[in-house]
Amino acid sequence: MHSYTEENYLKALFNLSADKGEVSANELSKQLGIKMPTVNSMMKKLSVKKLVHYESYKPLRLTEKGKKEAGLIIRKHRLTEMFLVQKLGFGWEEVHEIAEQIEHLHSPNFFEKMDALLGYPKIDPHGSPIPDKTGKMEWIKYEKLSSCKEGDTVRLAAVIHTTDDFLKFLNLRELSLGVKLKIKTVEKFDGSMTVSHSKKGSDTLSHIVCDRLLVEKL
C-alpha cells in the first residue's frame, strides 16, 4: 500500500501528464506546493517502487503500474464527488476538497457501495470521466466551446479547470452540465462569445471561459 503522501504525488503526476505523458519536476513541485528537493527525493522513492520512470535531469513519467495506481485514486476521487452531489446534495463547487480526503480511504467495500448506489456512473459532476476498476480512463472527444462557430448549437458536456470560483461563476449563469447553448456571436478581437440558453436568455462569455467549457455539437 502507498502512503497518503505518495498517493498525492501519483495523482498529480497523472493529472499533469494527461497530454504529453511527461512532467517536469518543476511543474510537479509547483502543482503540489512542495519544494523541488522534496519532490526529487520522492521521485527516487517512487522509482524504486516502480511507479515512476526516473532518470537524472530527464522528465518524469509514470510507469504502467504508476498509471494504474493513480487512475484508481482518481476513480475514488470522482466517484466520491458524484456521490456527494447526487446523494448528499452538495453543489459541484463544494465537493473537491472533501473528495481530496475521502480518496485516500482504504475500503474497497465503501467505494463499491457508492458505485452501485450511483448506478456505476461514467462521469463525475464536472463531466470528467471516472476511471474503471483497472484504473483506465478515457475522455470522450468533446470540443472546446471556444472552437465552435457562430450559429452552432451545443450541449455543455464537461468543465475543465474546475476551481470553486469558476464553478460559482457558472452557477450564477445557470450553466450546468447538459444545458443547450446556441452561439449567437463570436467577437474577433477577444474571442468572447454571446450564447443563449433556454432558461436564462443570453450571456457573454470571455475566451478564457469558453476555453474551459467542453461541448458536444448538436
Partner DNA sequence: TAAATTTGTTAGATAAGTCTAAGTTCTTAC
Partner DNA sequence: GTAAGAACTTAGACTTATCTAACAAATTTA
Query: By the criterion CB under 7 A, which residues form the site for DNA?
Result: 3-6, 24-26, 29, 33-38, 40-45, 54-59
Q: Is 36 left (phi over 0), alpha (psi -120 to 50) or beta?
A: alpha
Instruction: Compare residues 48 and 117 and give the one whose CB is closer to its own copies.
Output: 117
- Does 117 help bind its own copies (rule: CB under 8 A)? yes
Measured from the CB atom, is 36 or 105 closer to its own copies?
105
Interaction between residue 94 and its own copies (CB under 8 A): yes
Q: Is 89 in the site for its own copies (CB under 8 A)?
A: yes
Minimum distance between the CB of residue 95 and its own copies, rounded to whole angstroms? 10
- Only one of the segments 51-59, 64-72, 83-91, 167-175 lies at the binding site for its own copies (rule: CB under 8 A); that segment is 83-91
Q: From the list 22, 53, 90, 207, which residue makes contact with its own copies (rule: CB under 8 A)?
A: 90
Task: Give min distance, CB of 122 to its own copies, in A.
Answer: 21
Residue from 98, 118, 123, 157 that binds its own copies (CB under 8 A)?
Answer: 98
Grid cell of 154 as nine digits:
451545443
Task: Decide which of its own copies, DNA, none touches 122; Cβ closer than 5 to 8 Å per partner kind.
Answer: none
CA-to-CA dists, residue 58 to 26, 31, 50, angstroms: 11, 18, 16
Nearer to its own copies, 18 or 105 (CB): 105
Grid cell at residue 29: 513541485
Least separation in angstroms between residue 130's CB and its own copies is 18
Stretch that binds its own copies, among 15-23, 29-37, 94-102, 198-206 (CB under 8 A): 94-102
3-state secondary structure the chain: CCCHHHHHHHHHHHHHCCCCCCECHHHHHHHHCCCHHHHHHHHHHHHHCCCEECCCCCCEEECHHHHHHHHHHHHHHHHHHHHHHHHHCCCCCCHHHHHHHHCCCCCHHHHHHHHHHCCCCCECCCCCECCCCCCCCCCCCCEEHHHCCCCCEEEEEEECCCCHHHHHHHHHCCCCCCCEEEEEEECCCCCCEEEEEHHHEEEEECHHHHHCEEEEEC
Q: Which is nearer to DNA, 41 or 107 (CB)?
A: 41
Binding positions for its own copies, rule: CB under 8 A: 84, 87-90, 94, 97-98, 101-102, 105-107, 109-110, 113-114, 117
